[in-house]
Amino acid sequence: MSNLTQIALDDVRALSIKILKNVGYGDDHARAIAEMLYTCQLDDCQSHGLFRLLMCVQTMRDGKISGHAKPALKDSDTAVLHVDARDGMSLLAVDIAMPKLIEKTKANGIAALAVNKCFHFSALWPEVERLSAAGLAAIAMVPSHSWVAPAGGKRGSLGTNPIAFSWPRHDKNPFTFDFATSGFARGEIELYKRAGKQLPDGVALDKQGNPTTDPQAALDGAMLPFGSYKGSALSIMVELLAGPLIDDMISLESMEYAAGQAGAPYHGQIIIAFDPAHFNGGKPVENNERAERLFADIIEQGARLPSQRRFEARARNLERGFVEIPTVLYDDLHALLN
Amino acid sequence: MSNLTQIALDDVRALSIKILKNVGYGDDHARAIAEMLYTCQLDDCQSHGLFRLLMCVQTMRDGKISGHAKPALKDSDTAVLHVDARDGMSLLAVDIAMPKLIEKTKANGIAALAVNKCFHFSALWPEVERLSAAGLAAIAMVPSHSWVAPAGGKRGSLGTNPIAFSWPRHDKNPFTFDFATSGFARGEIELYKRAGKQLPDGVALDKQGNPTTDPQAALDGAMLPFGSYKGSALSIMVELLAGPLIDDMISLESMEYAAGQAGAPYHGQIIIAFDPAHFNGGKPVENNERAERLFADIIEQGARLPSQRRFEARARNLERGFVEIPTVLYDDLHALLN
């Protein structure tokens, strides 16, 4: 396709770091952010790959983020770990906390990491996949901005409130999902807008609380939860566990804090990890086989496991040594290098 | 309504215990089950109230359950607690483990209870509400039988796999939800069948994998997850965390184990509890206010919080001192007393 541009894998990180440092992110933050962008772009996760550099730049220009914040890890003798991102992007804080979270989970069987005072723009699956790569199961949740109306409502109260889960599989890619509890992810609506496409029915309300398929009207109005009342309830759970539980902002507060600025939302994040060795009664093989039987039964009937397309993209892009992004995005990014 | 029969509150427990003991449940199990039925019936939760006595009776008649099993609590020095129900109904096992789960959560900040080798018929909200009544937030999950096709599939692989959550509110009923990750709960489809009503579109497939609105065809075929691919992914998470993680059956195995018998499914259960005191940085009041602000914003725009109808029913039934059940169910239950 002529509207795509190829970027060699190594250049994805290098381009990202250069742009991030150009606008004021320090070395550590630039590296942590670039690694996340690389991980997503490698899997053709366009909405959370290099496209998000635009948001990282905007966030710095908004003037509230610290590009040099040193996250503060606060350990305890319990199963709960805290890391204060000190107004930096979340990723370096999570990087610093991750080894301790793994250690704590292996010691306690279950553990939780609360990330506070962070700006957040990233997909959650790379973080839960770091835990499943360590043999743990994991759930991650974040609020965002109050763009999403509760089921039966008229205006935004809830964030897009993604929930991600990863389950380790022996010698295979993990079982992973990462979805917004809104019908659409905010990033998807932005991509629809950039592409000049209409949204499907049932994912958004306009400013007056009426259904709309126009991406801009949706961005100005409110999105709707997936799965009606159930998705709405789940979104409220995400809001509570990744907000008031951990002494951090709900999406309504995060939206107010941003005061109309378009950069990454500022709020908290929770990650919960489980060590199967503490739960499975010393039978890892039998229980792995149980899980594999379920996956096989799903695939045999023609259904797909979540993330399969992503894993296929990863294999393809690693093999060919480059990723492809829209040329219009490539041009936007190169303009940021000057 | 002439097709409803009133039962005094005290008689709900007494009737339940009498029927349960009549068919072979020992005192302890009968009391634990009756308390669950009472709790659900008090809230007009018809699908999981006295109606479920029929399933408890059937389960005993199936011949696999132990009516006198003494659950075995296995403590550890970690944040994980196990209770082996020893082929009894789940409720007595959960009763026995609950004080220790609360203690463990308060000690560790987060803790998990794995319930193994139990028959299970009950709603999950009464269990997570016991934890929120103790000031904790809690999530509970169970598999069931493989009645539910994955999104994009044709036949049952997954259980109805409910997920319940409760969040403590000061001087108020908790924020609680408890929903099947299938579009409909199995119990709801059974109630549609009993009432001779057709199902809405999009909740079930027939035996050939085609959409159906006939309750019996749905019971013979497969149900569908709520919220398409997202609900399906969530259901797989429930299956993994309440099955292979804790060394217990997936819904496919539970279905095989039942071998066509109609009683309660046999499988495991997981409950995860969070103590806000370990997470909220010593600011319970501020964080409670944050959560209350979210609830208020949802209610102000005309949306409802989950469980509100249930709490209203509870208040009404406690006030008037009786519950109402369909007369046809009342007659069925009285026939079991002879």
ipTM for the predicted complex:
0.96
Q: Which residues contact B49 (CB under 8 A, 6 or more apart)?
A: B37, B40, B41, B323, B325
User: In what helix (H) or strand (E) does residue B4 lie, and over which residues does it extend?
Assistant: strand B4-8
Instruction: Give the DSSP per-residue string, A261-298.
Output: --S--EEEEEEEEE-HHHHSTT-HHHHHHHHHHHHHHH
The hierarchical CATH code for the domain A71-183+224-307 is 3.30.1370.60
Structure-token pair, residue A231? 């998705």
State pTM to two decimals.
0.97
Candidates B178, B165, B157; CA nearest to B224 is B157
pLDDT band at B1 (very low <50, low <70, confident <90, very high): very low
Tokens matching residue B159 = 């259980």
Task: Enumerate the residues of chain A whose CB falls inside 8 A of the CB of residue B279.
Answer: 80, 112, 114, 245-247
Contact B110 A80 (CB under 8 A): yes
Q: Would you kindly state where each structural domain of chain B is located, as residue ranges?
A: 71-183+224-313
Dist CA B309 CA A187 (whole Å): 35
B47 carries an active-site annotation: yes
Closest chain A C-alpha to B11 CA, distance in angstroms: 34
Give the chain A residue nearest B81 (alpha carbons): A279
Interacting residues of B240 by C-beta distance below 8 A, sequence separation 6+ = A137, A167, A175, A291, A294
Say which range, A180-189, A198-207, A306-315, B165-174, has the weakest mean pLDDT: A180-189
Percent of chain A whose predicted confidence (pLDDT) is above 70:
99
CA distance B261 to chain A (A): 22
For residue B78, the chain A residue with the least C-alpha distance is A108
- What is the fold of B71-183+224-313? Ribosomal Protein S8; Chain: A, domain 1 (3.30.1370)
Report the pLDDT value the prediction gives residue B209, as an integer from 0 to 100.
94
Residue keyed to tokens 């039998």: A286
Mean pLDDT on B13-39: 98
* CB atoms near residue A334 (< 10 Å): 12
Closest residue on chain B to A252 (Cα): B294
Q: Which residues of B touch A116 (CB under 8 A)?
A: 281
User: How far is B108 from A110, CA to CA, in rounded Å?
Assistant: 10
User: Residue A338: its pLDDT value, please?
Assistant: 75
Q: What is the pLDDT of residues A73-116, one digit of tens each?
A: 999 999 999 999 999 999 999 999 999 999 999 999 999 999 99
Residue B81 has pLDDT above 60, yes or no: yes
pLDDT at A1: 47
Residue B338, pLDDT > 80, answer: no
Contact flag B227-A227 (C-beta cutoff 8 Å): yes
- Mutation for testing the A interface, residue in B80, B105, B115 having most A CBs under 10 Å: B80
Residue from B83, B240, B78 nearest A106 by CA: B78
pLDDT of residue B186: 77
pLDDT of A238 higher than 90: yes
Q: Considering only CB atoms, which chain B residues are within 8 Å of A306?
A: 229, 233, 236
Q: Please work out, in degrees rounded to the nearest 5, the angle formed at the alpha carbon of residue A53 by the alpha carbons of A247 and A255.
A: 35
**Strand, helix or coil at B100?**
helix
Express each pLDDT in B209-241 by its tens digit.
Answer: 999 999 999 999 999 999 999 999 999 999 999
pLDDT at B153 over 80: yes
Measured in angstroms, the CA of B81 and the nearest CA of chain A are apart by 9
B303 chain-A contacts, CB cut-off 8 A: 149-153, 157, 232
pLDDT tens sequence across A275-284: 999 999 999 9
Residue contact A228–B227, C-beta within 8 A: yes
pLDDT, mean of residues A313-320: 98
